[in-house]
Structure 1
């Protein structure tokens, strides 16, 4: 890539409008090998200020570019095999995720998903949720372009009684309409909703479909029966894939900043954006927006390398490790991050679109209780919950298996990607009332197969999901410091 006055796409807002064949996170993780021009610049030629600014910009933009990759594949690129629907429409996935779903790492295979991406430039949108039986958990997670969780609707947040809610963009200043229960204010021009609906068992799928039919989305003008405002101009959306993002992360950030105006709480970022001008990065302009010196080009490369290394290192520090499980402590909103862009980026690397811990807690691990790497090609493992000490939740819990190399679901002979609490009636308990899960690549035998969680023939990555964790003891909250602790994984061979 020649980094001069032009780049491979124009990020000017043409205010004229997720494509990844593998995973969204792979795009950003490949940035360490970005294609920058080879130069003969020495370390002394590089400006420490420029390198620091480049690192700051990389860390700041990391989750935003990752989010755009998913958004492009899900809602923009109609040729993608992961495409869902256009903006301001709801897409219902009437199934759970399988190894064929590769857009997002560590995908949830517990709950069928519904999605929408709201374009809030012209007017707000109103979405409705139906009344749902109290036994069925559901949640609507609202995520802005910064990847902040800016609102929740669902069993925990609002109850199962149904309701109408409005999402307003950064420039909307109206009053809450009659009949709307709550207005959620989004700091960016686009907002994504991730809707999870509990599936009790395969026979329950038709019931989930009926619930999903009750999720509705309307422009505010349609909801009010008024004339629609002028349509927002089209945007020329830059194509994104693994190679393009690896070449030009700063160019994508320049484009995305134009969709994230620094208004309201985001005004605190104005000085930082002003610093970005020094490395040729300006909202809505092609990157670089000015001629860069050879030293500045080298500073960009070094800043990106340092930024990625910092994100990786900090990701391991989110939360605490208990019995080999790293329990993520996540509250991913502007107030909680409070300008800590490294924290926001680390949350995205750990699992983009992760719920706040109060909604779902996430113990994850790549090691056994002794700290040794989990490897299905070398060992068999077990995890045993003592009698009366299953995960304490108000909704349900699960343990999901992933390929340790890709963090994607793995193919296996019984098409089982997780074990969760709705499966308990079919599982066998030990004589003392405890429950053992067998973690291995081959079947443990017909008599134990109900408790088998198939593993890959190689590195293992495991994730627990504890939906609506209890706050009273025993509880996993606060994450990593609660009175309930996940049992360690032990070698069975």
Structure 2
């Protein structure tokens, strides 16, 4: 089976037709503009569906996790073999579930966890909005029971439920991160993961289950199919994203999409398109993808060469700015809100030159006592600059993080230097080596549960702590 790569999907969608396509008289002047708007709006949703299809639907996929309404625990950290999600976190073993909320809500339970171990449960809807958090920062480590309800549920919070999270879409994904202190700690993480439980509301209440929701015929997706029919996938996905509640604001926009044949549950195109209509749609796709790339390259505030994104990934924060949502998805889908984690990212050194492991060696130095100010932990992770995936390397090291500090060598002044290069810096420095690809480099810091009191990276771009720049090694 060909492995579905979201980065490849991004590029494939951009290579459908030349920009020089010219619309003929029988195409509406608005067709290309509507197509561009629809592509930008649907971009994160199609990416999300690609992940969901591999993780929870396609049992033949080597990325498959589990069926809907079950919890899957990954009792390891991510490696280069994990390719469904770009810029994956390799700090924490993941757990996942995808809840089908059509028939009834689900109840999610977390165990009591020792106070020093960070964990988080990030709840994401089909729009890719973060609609809720459970975890060390949000709810504490004392354990609890939480309910996730879909857009059409009208009940009240049951007894014994600590909090109800309302999801705007019929399906909700949970991304669960459990901190791993070191390799010997993996068995402890497995015990924590066993405490993550998901059951239907009827089971929790001891009542008869409602009639199950009708089965869905999930369309197969891969990069070739998505490139051929991005609007067909959007029309399908709108069926599980009903315009009710807060989503009612989208009704006029979806009416515009219908003008070019994108309607929930209907085939796209509904009938044979003229050459001019096809050209208009393809032109809109290309312009939309180019605009997303342009936005992605300029989002955030640049500090010492690092781009720092201020993310609140929900409907209210975006306020209809679908381009911003698409850019966040392209930069790293499923990004946490900044209150949960901050992600300085870079492709450049402190002087603005592109990072390239085939041409240069680099270092990043944290002055003594000036490590990232967090309540949980921090890391610096290496990715291939072309794919934004983890890279194979001779020591199987994909990041350097704060739990590793006791194994790293400090400089005589107490500072810490990390060596960023494709070849070993020598045995005496290898403990501090972060292997780089033989080509473009993409680096991401992760600052989990950033402190709010000085020194702090918050407010982003103006905080009293700033990430040190990456410099070329002598």
The corresponding residue for 2:109 is 128
In the alignment, the residues of structure 1 paired with residue 4 and residue 91 of structure 2 have an alpha-carbon distance, to the nearest angstrom, of: 21
User: Residue 329 of structure 1: CA displacement?
Assistant: 1.4
TM (norm. structure 1) is 0.94
List aligned pairs for 1:148-163, cutoff 5 A.
Answer: 148-163=129-144
Q: Report if the CA contact (8 A) 1:51-1:300 is conserved.
A: yes
The corresponding residue for 1:265 is 246
The corresponding residue for 1:26 is 8
The corresponding residue for 1:119 is 100
SS of 2:343's partner is strand
Correspondence 1:360 to 2:363? no
> Per-residue displacement from partner, 1:70-89 (whole Å, max 9, x unpaired)?
00000000000000000000
Judged with a 3 Å threshold, the aligned counterparts in structure 2 of structure 1 residues 335 and 357 are, in CA distance, closer, same or farther, namely: same
Correspondence 1:344 to 2:317? no
Q: Report if the CA contact (8 A) 2:123-2:132 is conserved.
A: yes
Correspondence 1:447 to 2:434? no
Judged with a 3 Å threshold, the aligned counterparts in structure 2 of structure 1 residues 440 and 275 are, in CA distance, closer, same or farther, namely: same
SS of 1:33's partner is coil
In the alignment, the residues of structure 2 paired with residue 338 and residue 174 of structure 1 have an alpha-carbon distance, to the nearest angstrom, of: 28
SS of 1:444's partner is coil
List aligned pairs for 1:355-434, cutoff 5 A.
Answer: 355-434=336-415
Correspondence 1:164 to 2:145? yes
The corresponding residue for 1:234 is 215
List aligned pairs for 1:320-335, cutoff 5 A.
Answer: 320-335=301-316
In the alignment, the residues of structure 2 paired with residue 225 and residue 315 of structure 1 have an alpha-carbon distance, to the nearest angstrom, of: 48
Q: Report if the CA contact (8 A) 2:39-2:285 is conserved.
A: yes
The corresponding residue for 2:177 is 196
User: Residue 316 of structure 1: CA displacement?
Assistant: 2.3
User: Residue 34 of structure 1: CA displacement?
Assistant: 2.2
Correspondence 1:100 to 2:81? yes
C-alpha RMSD of matched pairs (Å): 1.5
The corresponding residue for 1:61 is 42
Q: What are structure 2's unaligned runs of at least 5 residues?
A: none
Judged with a 3 Å threshold, the aligned counterparts in structure 2 of structure 1 residues 42 and 187 are, in CA distance, closer, same or farther, namely: closer
1:315 to 296, 299, 304: 296
Correspondence 1:91 to 2:96? no
Q: Report if the CA contact (8 A) 2:23-2:279 is conserved.
A: no
SS of 1:74's partner is helix
SS of 2:158's partner is coil
Q: Report if the CA contact (8 A) 2:104-2:150 is conserved.
A: yes
The corresponding residue for 1:469 is 450
User: Residue 363 of structure 1: CA displacement?
Assistant: 0.4
In the alignment, the residues of structure 1 paired with residue 116 and residue 217 of structure 2 have an alpha-carbon distance, to the nearest angstrom, of: 45
List aligned pairs for 1:36-75, cutoff 5 A.
Answer: 41-42=22-23, 47-75=28-56
TM (norm. structure 2) is 0.98
SS of 1:292's partner is coil
In the alignment, the residues of structure 1 paired with residue 71 and residue 382 of structure 2 have an alpha-carbon distance, to the nearest angstrom, of: 29
In the alignment, the residues of structure 1 paired with residue 298 and residue 139 of structure 2 have an alpha-carbon distance, to the nearest angstrom, of: 32
SS of 2:95's partner is strand
Larger mean CA deviation between 141-150 and 38-47 belongs to 38-47
> Per-residue displacement from partner, 1:206-226 (whole Å, max 9, x unpaired)?
000000000000000001110
Q: Report if the CA contact (8 A) 1:20-1:103 is conserved.
A: no
In the alignment, the residues of structure 2 paired with residue 315 and residue 45 of structure 1 have an alpha-carbon distance, to the nearest angstrom, of: 34
SS of 1:279's partner is coil
Q: What are structure 1's unaligned runs of at least 5 residues?
A: 1-18
> Per-residue displacement from partner, 1:402-459 (whole Å, max 9, x unpaired)?
1111111111111000000000001111111111000011111111111110111111
Q: Report if the CA contact (8 A) 1:20-1:73 is conserved.
A: no
List aligned pairs for 1:478-489, cutoff 5 A.
Answer: 478-489=459-470
SS of 1:354's partner is coil
Judged with a 3 Å threshold, the aligned counterparts in structure 2 of structure 1 residues 43 and 305 are, in CA distance, closer, same or farther, namely: farther
User: Residue 39 of structure 1: CA displacement?
Assistant: 11
User: Residue 478 of structure 1: CA displacement?
Assistant: 1.8
User: Residue 480 of structure 1: CA displacement?
Assistant: 1.9
